[in-house]
Each structure stands twice: as structure tokens, then as C-alpha cells.
């Protein structure tokens, strides 16, 4: 490696790292980006829904050549018990707009494309290179990184830690804590391939349209967790995620949960006949606002999943990652262009930008939800889904008994399971944390 | 009908691409007499079934099929039950889709 010093080193070429590297390189800064994968994306796992506005803020004409699968026209939310689902489906032709709002993507392909933009903008991207340690001077200021390649320290004015949820550098250097088991979900996911026409027919889609399903209920066996099924062009991403603390306490096996989800009578027909081509696993930060660590210091900033900037309630992460990366890049550029040093004080500009954006405001809004779901998971993921299914069945089934019997049975089932007070308290607490 | 076809984890991992760094495992289990509850949990919750209980009731790891998710690190690194690193650059799991 050259002895020259960089304006910035970015650790990681995922969503946040690419956004940061691109925003700095395209403004003329001298950027080095390190990625441990064979190519950008080869270590990354996502559902995956891409939010167009946030990418558009970085690369406005991305639709010209980004690898996009389908634009979403339909979203289904399913509450499941073992044999049924109760669903809310939202579908609108408004989403067939000139510049669609959401797309499905495949991360291994998308990250490669995003990284090619960093290179085009003049950034140096080094793959198959794991950063092993931060270099610091006597005062503790971060001055560069060591890697597993030959050669010593690589120096830079600032290091952008875009190393993802399982980032080692920042945690080992004591800049932030390791994620706690109750603040991360383990998601397992498979890629099921089917011909494009078959997917279109099964989900009622034409042209490039896509549909996604988010599913909660007894499929996570009383643990806080969610299943998902997303349509790509010629494949379906199917997966399930549960908090690591829940899995450990219940000694549950994630791939058996996934297999059971796939075998659910509501899911199985959607996947029938598909060819599985990959099985992946990844953590998702779910601690929310209260788990966000210190975001900047002397010579460093942290962005994306590494900083727990992930909105588990709305299943958004990549957009928070991209936006935080972009803002870190902009802040660094602004400091640099007025001749400032990368001190903690100056870098607080990044946090200031983030606070004003949707990133912090959305996370703040739901700050109490993660702990509610964690402490009350059995009710939210076992009791209520079962009750709601029974209620729906009581309503729908026609069996010659007076309707009042069914309604009474429904009310009694809810009260038996949770008591009146329990129901009221759950309702109030959910409403408050949602507000 | 509630037929459940349990797929074997080996069959799942077989779909994946790996570049194994032979002779340089990236995760190690600290020698122990009997496993802590968290270490024991890994025999169930590791998504690649890398952890197994051996004949004498200790937890052992074969990290070749590791998906690098970090679950075991989050549960067991702080207590020193395991030592966790990323594989060297370029090695390990290579997702085709992710
Ligand atoms: C199953 C699943 C489904 C999801 N679904 C969605 C969704 O539908 N929509 C959405 O918006 N978000 C979703 N997310 C969340 C989203 O994937 C993340 O929020 C996003 O990827 C975070 O981006 P990042 O750049 O911070 O981290 P990552 O994308 O994880 O990137 C980190 C990068 O750093 C590299 N790296 C780490 N350490 C080093 C090192 N020491 N040296 C060199 N390189 C290193 C890694 O190889 C990786 O490329 C999902 C996540 C999962 C797991
Ligand atoms: S990192 Fe994940 S896949 Fe690898 S051994 Fe740990 S738990 Fe298993």
C-alpha cells in the first residue's frame, strides 16, 4: 500500500459505506474504501426492499443502470397462526409511476453496482481486504487502520466505520459496545427460483410489478420475530428473523423455524416447485433509538447498521444506512473545505444533520417499541395471533348457530387469554410506543 | 394436513459458495469442562450448525460452513467462551445473491 495519506478511509462497501465513499469521492476527496468480501456484496444479506428516494438523493439517475428486480405495487401484512392467516393487503396502481418508490433488489448484485459508482467517482476500492485494527495516536485520536494485507498502517484524516451490525473495529477499540442479544435479530433467508411468468401469475403481477409479504404470529413460536417473502424477477426471497435473546432462551433452531414457515399452508403454495439456490444468515439491529451509540469522535464517525441506525418497526435499514453515509460524507467534505480538522467537535456536524433528518426522528418516534415487544413477546406473537384467527373464523364460519354465540366466544377467548386488564394494558402500551 | 419435511442443514449449506481458509479457522471455542448456557445454546441456534456437543459433553466448533452472521459472537465473545474473527479478506462464505 502507498504511504500517502487519504482524506478518508471507509470501512465496508455495503449500503452506508458506498453512500459515504461516493459522496466524498464525487466531491473530490481522496477516499480509500476497504471491503473484506471478494467483491462488494459477497458478504451482505438483505430482504431486500430498496427505497428509491434515499438512493436518488445520492445517485439521481440510478434507474438507468442499477440492477433492480421489481417495483412494488402490493404489500401484504399477515397475522398467522398454525393453519391460517388474517391479512391486510394494500395494492395500488399509483405505484406504477414513472419513478417508482420502492424496488426489490439482490444485494450481491446491487452492492457491486453501487461500488462501481464509487470507482467512477475516483474512489479507491480495495476488496478482499479486512481492516483488523484502528490506528490511534497517543491522545486516542484515530489516525488510520491496519489491514490483513502486507504493509503497516494506512493513514487518513478520518475513518468512516461502515462495518455493519457485526463490526469488530469500533467495538474492539471501545468506541461503542458490542450489540446485546436483545438488540439484534438473527435472520435466515433462502433464495427460491421460479420462472418469471409463474411468479407473476401466483401474485397477480404484470410487467415489472412486485409484491411483498410481511408475516407475524405463531411462526416465531412466541419469540419476537417476523417472516417475510419478497418477489424478485425470477426468484422469491423468503426468510424469518427472531431476536437472538429469544432464540437463546428457547434454544430454537432458526432453520427449523424457516422450514416451518415455508411449510405453512399459506406460504407453501407460493413456493411450490421452486429451486433453492442459496441459504444465508445475517443479524439485524433492532435496539432502536436507545441502542444508538456515540456516533463520532476524534478522527472517526460511525454510520449505518454499525450505529444501530435501523428501523425494525418499518423494516427499513438500507435507507437509514445510505442517508447516514451520505450525511457523514457531506459533513466531512464541509469540514475539509473550510480547512477544519477532523476533531470530535467539528464532526458533531454529522450528528446535527442526522438529528434533523428522518433517520433520528423516526427512530425517536418508536423508541419504546423494541423493549415492549421484547418483554411481551409471547402475547404479541402467540396469544393475539391465535385469538385473532379464532375471531375471524367465528365471524366467517356459517354453522347454523346464532351469530351472538360466535361473538361471545370471541370476547370470552380474548379475556380468558389475557384478562381484561391485560388487554387494556397491552393496548395502551402499544399505542403509546407507536405514537 | 401438517406435513413437515425437515430439510437437512447440510443440504442447505451445500447450495452456498465458500472459500475455506484451510488450517485457519476464524472462530475458536475456549477449552472448558462443561459449557455455559449460552455456549450450549449455540448448538441449537447457530444457523449453520457449526457448534456441536461432543461425546464428553463439551461444545466444539467446525467453522467451515459458517455464514459469518455474528450470532455466536454476540452471545459468547464477552464471556470469553469463544474467540471470534472475520476470515481473512476474500475467504469464507461468498454469497451469490445475499
Ligand atoms: C434478512 C434481512 C432483511 C432486510 N431487509 C431489509 C429491507 O427490505 N429493506 C431495508 O432497507 N433494509 C433491510 N435490511 C437491513 C439492511 O440490510 C441494513 O440496514 C443495511 O445493509 C446496512 O448497511 P450497512 O452499510 O450499514 O452495513 P452492511 O450492508 O452490512 O455492510 C457492511 C460492510 O462492511 C464490510 N466489513 C465489515 N467489517 C469489515 C472490515 N473489518 N474490513 C473490511 N470490510 C468490512 C462487510 O463485508 C460489508 O460489506 C435487512 C437486513 C437483513 C439481514
Ligand atoms: S457466525 Fe453465525 S454461522 Fe458462524 S458459527 Fe457463529 S453463529 Fe454460526
Indicate which CATH number applies to the domain containing A161: 3.50.50.60
∠ CA A99-A105-A106, rounded to 5°:
160
Number of domains in chain B: 1
> How many angstroms does the Cα of residue A236 sit away from the middle of ligand 2?
24
Region A123-143 average pLDDT = 97
Instruction: Find out whether A243 and A224 touch, Cβ atoms under 8 Å.
Output: yes
Over its C-alpha atoms, chain A yields an Rg (Å, rounded) of 23
A312 lines ligand 1 (CB under 6 A): no
B95 and A107: CB-CB below 8 Å?
yes
A192: which strand partners? A236, A276
Q: Is residue B2 pLDDT above 50, yes or no? A: no
What's the rounded Cα separation, in Å, for the pair A413 and A81? 15
Same domain, A143 and A251: no
Could you give the 3-state DSSP secondary structure of residue A363?
Answer: helix
Q: Is residue A314 pLDDT above 90, yes or no? A: no
> How many angstroms does the Cα of residue A408 sit away from the middle of ligand 1?
48
Over its C-alpha atoms, chain B yields an Rg (Å, rounded) of 14
Same domain, A160 and A306: yes
**Would residue A299 count as lying in a domain?**
yes
Q: What is the pLDDT of residues A46-76, one digit of tens each?
A: 999 999 999 999 999 999 999 999 999 999 9
Residue span of the structural domain in which A275 resides? 184-285
Nearest protein Cα to ligand 1, atom 21: A318
**Would residue A196 count as lying in a domain?**
yes
Closest residue to B71, CB basis, from A38, A41, A186: A186
Nearest CA among B47, B52, B87 for reference residue B69 = B47
Instruction: Find out whether A194 and A273 touch, Cβ atoms under 8 Å.
Output: yes
A159 lines ligand 1 (CB under 6 A): no
**Would residue A130 count as lying in a domain?**
yes
pLDDT band at A87 (very low <50, low <70, confident <90, very high): confident
**Would residue A245 count as lying in a domain?**
yes
For helices A107-120 and A15-25, the axis angle rounded to 10 degrees is 10
Could you give the 3-state DSSP secondary structure of residue A288?
Answer: helix
Ligand 2: atom nearest CA of B45 is 7
* β-bridge pairing A131-136 and A142-147: antiparallel
A235 and B97: CB-CB below 8 Å?
yes
User: What integer best gives the mean pLDDT of chain B?
Assistant: 92
Torsion of CA A120, A124, A129, A133, to 10 degrees: -130
**Would residue A89 count as lying in a domain?**
no
Same domain, A192 and A172: no
Contacts of A265 in chain B (CB under 8 A): 1
Sign of CA dihedral B68, B70, B75, B81: positive
**Would residue B56 count as lying in a domain?**
yes
Nearest CA among A385, A390, A383, A382 for reference residue A411 = A390
> How many angstroms does the Cα of residue B6 sit away from the middle of ligand 1?
29
**ipTM field:** 0.94
- For residue A195, give the CATH number of its domain: 3.30.9.90
Tell me which of A253, A285, A317 is where a domain ends: A285
What's the rounded Cα separation, in Å, for the pair A235 and A277? 10
B5 and A263: CB-CB below 8 Å?
yes
Same domain, A190 and A172: no
Nearest CA among A75, A62, A280 for reference residue A189 = A280
Alpha helices, DSSP H only, in A102-243?
107-120, 168-172, 196-203
Q: Is residue A39 pLDDT above 60, yes or no? A: yes
Region A285-302 average pLDDT = 96
Q: Is residue A363 pLDDT above 50, yes or no? A: yes
What's the rounded Cα separation, in Å, for the pair A424 and A422? 5
What is the predicted pLDDT for the residue at A430? 66
What is the predicted pLDDT for the residue at B31? 96
Residue of B nearest to A235 (CA): B97
What's the rounded Cα separation, in Å, for the pair A226 and A214? 7
- Whether residue A48 has a cis bond before it, omega within 30° of 0: yes
Q: What is the pLDDT of residues A387-420, one digit of tens each?
A: 777 777 777 777 777 778 877 877 777 877 777 6
Which H or E run includes A209?
Answer: strand A209-217
**Would residue B70 count as lying in a domain?**
yes
Same domain, A205 and A277: yes
Nearest CA among A266, A267, A313, A273 for reference residue A289 = A313
Which residues make Cβ contacts (< 8 Å) with residue B96, sequence separation at least 6? A108, A277, A278, B16, B17
How many angstroms away from the CA of B84 is the closest CA of chain A?
A: 9
**Would residue B1 count as lying in a domain?**
no
Contacts of A184 in chain B (CB under 8 A): 70-71, 74
A420: left (phi over 0), alpha (psi -120 to 50) or beta: alpha
List B residues 18-57 in contact with A (Cβ-Cβ < 8 A). 19, 37-38, 41, 44-45, 47-49
**Would residue A275 count as lying in a domain?**
yes
What's the rounded Cα separation, in Å, for the pair A288 and A294? 14
Top mutation candidate among A287, A303, A321 for ligand 1, by most atoms within 8 Å of CB: A321
**Would residue B4 count as lying in a domain?**
no
Nearest CA among A338, A72, A422, A416 for reference residue A229 = A72
**Would residue B23 count as lying in a domain?**
yes
Contacts of A254 in chain B (CB under 8 A): 45, 47
Same domain, A381 and A422: yes
**A191 CB-side CA count, 13 A:** 25
Number of domains in chain A: 3
Could you give the 3-state DSSP secondary structure of residue A242?
Answer: strand
pLDDT band at A366 (very low <50, low <70, confident <90, very high): confident
Residue of B nearest to A245 (CA): B75
Contacts of B51 in chain A (CB under 8 A): none
Same domain, A145 and A190: no
**Would residue B2 count as lying in a domain?**
no
A295 or A423, which is more confident: A295
What is the predicted pLDDT for the residue at A383? 78
A305 lines ligand 1 (CB under 6 A): yes
Same domain, A128 and A237: no
User: What integer best gives the mean pLDDT of chain A?
Assistant: 92
Same domain, A381 and A350: no
Nearest CA among A124, A261, A232, A244 for reference residue A181 = A244
Residue span of the structural domain in which B86 resides? 9-94
Q: Is residue A372 pLDDT above 80, yes or no? A: no
What's the pTM? 0.93
Nearest CA among A375, A234, A218 for reference residue A226 = A218
Instruction: Find out whether B51 and B60 touch, Cβ atoms under 8 Å.
Output: yes
Contacts of A253 in chain B (CB under 8 A): 44-45
Nearest protein Cα to ligand 1, atom 46: A12
* β-bridge pairing A154-161 and A300-302: parallel
Calculate the alpha carbon distances from A74 to A96, A214, A270, A314, B4 in Å: 10, 11, 15, 15, 29
Max Cα separation, chain B? 47
Same domain, A279 and A188: yes
**Would residue A214 count as lying in a domain?**
yes
Same domain, A144 and A262: no
Q: What is the pLDDT of residues B13-45, one digit of tens each?
A: 999 999 999 999 999 999 999 999 999 999 999
> How many angstroms does the Cα of residue A20 sit away from the middle of ligand 2?
29
What's the rounded Cα separation, in Å, for the pair A255 and A253? 6
Which residues make Cβ contacts (< 8 Å) with residue A338, sequence separation at least 6? none
C-alpha of A254 from chain center: 18
A134 lines ligand 1 (CB under 6 A): no
* β-bridge pairing A102-104 and A235-243: unpaired
Q: What is the pLDDT of residues A161-181, one digit of tens each?
A: 999 999 999 999 999 999 999
* Number of CB atoms found within 10 A of residue A320's CB: 30
Pairs of CB atoms within 8 A across A/B: 148
What's the rounded Cα separation, in Å, for the pair A148 and A128? 9
- For residue B65, give the CATH number of its domain: 3.30.70.20
Ligand 1: atom nearest CA of A304 is 26
What's the rounded Cα separation, in Å, for the pair A257 and A240? 7
What's the rounded Cα separation, in Å, for the pair A236 and A134? 39
**Would residue B3 count as lying in a domain?**
no
Instruction: Find out whether A94 and A75 touch, Cβ atoms under 8 Å.
Output: no
Could you give the 3-state DSSP secondary structure of residue A280?
Answer: strand
Amino acid at each position: 500500500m502507498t504511504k500517502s495519506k487519504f482524506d478518508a478511509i471507509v470501512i465496508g462497501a455495503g449500503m452506508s459505506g458506498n453512500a459515504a465513499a461516493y459522496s466524498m469521492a464525487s466531491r473530490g476527496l481522496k477516499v480509500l474504501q476497504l471491503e473484506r468480501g471478494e467483491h462488494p456484496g459477497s458478504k451482505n444479506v438483505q430482504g431486500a426492499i430498496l427505497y428509491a428516494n434515499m438512493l436518488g438523493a445520492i445517485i439521481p439517475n440510478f434507474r438507468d443502470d442499477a440492477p433492480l428486480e421489481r417495483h412494488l405495487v402490493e404489500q401484504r401484512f399477515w397475522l398467522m397462526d398454525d393453519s391460517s392467516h388474517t391479512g391486510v393487503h394494500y395494492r395500488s396502481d399509483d405505484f406504477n409511476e414513472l419513478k417508482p418508490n420502492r424496488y426489490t433488489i439482490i444485494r450481491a448484485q446491487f452492492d457491486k453496482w453501487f461500488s462501481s459508482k464509487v470507482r467512477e467517482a475516483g474512489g479507491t476500492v480495495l476488496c478482499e481486504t479486512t481492516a483488523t485494527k484502528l490506528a490511534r495516536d497517543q491522545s486516542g485520536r484515530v489516525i488510520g487502520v491496519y489491514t490483513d494485507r502486507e504493509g503497516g498502517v494506512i493513514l487518513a484524516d478520518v475513518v468512516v466505520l461502515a462495518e455493519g451490525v457485526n463490526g469488530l473495529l469500533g467495538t474492539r477499540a471501545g468506541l461503542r459496545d458490542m450489540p446485546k442479544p436483545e438488540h439484534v435479530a438473527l435472520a435466515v433467508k433462502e433464495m427460491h427460483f421460479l420462472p418469471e411468468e409463474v411468479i407473476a401469475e401466483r401474485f397477480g403481477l404484470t410487467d415489472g410489478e412486485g409484491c411483498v409479504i410481511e408475516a407475524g404470529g405463531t411462526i416465531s413460536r412466541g419469540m419476537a420475530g417476523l417472516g417475510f417473502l419478497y418477489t424478485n424477477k425470477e426468484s422469491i426471497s423468503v426468510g424469518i428473523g427472531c431476536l437472538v435473546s429469544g432464540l437463546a432462551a428457547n434454544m430454537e433452531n432458526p432453520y427449523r423455524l424457516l422450514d416451518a414457515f415455508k411449510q405453512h399452508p399459506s406460504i407453501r403454495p407460493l413456493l411450490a416447485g421452486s429451486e433453492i439456490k442459496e441459504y444465508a444468515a445475517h443479524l439485524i439491529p433492532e435496539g432502536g433509538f436507545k441502542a444508538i451509540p456515540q456516533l463520532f469522535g476524534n478522527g472517526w464517525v460511525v454510520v449505518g447498521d454499525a450505529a444501530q441506525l435501523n428501523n425494525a418497526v418499518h423494516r427499513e435499514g438500507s435507507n437509514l444506512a445510505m442517508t447516514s453515509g451520505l450525511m457523514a460524507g457531506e459533513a466531512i467534505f464541509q469540514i475539509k473545505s473550510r480547512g477544519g480538522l477532523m476533531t470530535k467537535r467539528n464532526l458533531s456536524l454529522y450528528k446535527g444533520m442526522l438529528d434533523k433528518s428522518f433517520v433520528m426522528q423516526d427512530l425517536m418516534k418508536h423508541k419504546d417499541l423494541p423493549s415492549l415487544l421484547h418483554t411481551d413477546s409471547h402475547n404479541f406473537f402467540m396469544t393475539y395471533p391465535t385469538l385473532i384467527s379464532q375471531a375471524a373464523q367465528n365471524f366467517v364460519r356459517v354453522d347454523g348457530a346464532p351469530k351472538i354465540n360466535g361473538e361471545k366466544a370471541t370476547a370470552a377467548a380474548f379475556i380468558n387469554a389475557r384478562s381484561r386488564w391485560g388487554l387494556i394494558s397491552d393496548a395502551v402500551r402499544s399505542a403509546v410506543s407507536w405514537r | 394436513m401438517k406435513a413437515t419435511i425437515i430439510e437437512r442443514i447440510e443440504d442447505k449449506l451445500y447450495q452456498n459458495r465458500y472459500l475455506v481458509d484451510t488450517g485457519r479457522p476464524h472462530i475458536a471455542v475456549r477449552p472448558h469442562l462443561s459449557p455455559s448456557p449460552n455456549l450450549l445454546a449455540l448448538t441449537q441456534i447457530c444457523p449453520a450448525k457449526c457448534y456441536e456437543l461432543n461425546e464428553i459433553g463439551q461444545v466444539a466448533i467446525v467453522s467451515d460452513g459458517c455464514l459469518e452472521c455474528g450470532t455466536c459472537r454476540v452471545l459468547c465473545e464477552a464471556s470469553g467462551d469463544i474467540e471470534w474473527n472475520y476470515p481473512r479478506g476474500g475467504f469464507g462464505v461468498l454469497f451469490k445473491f445475499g
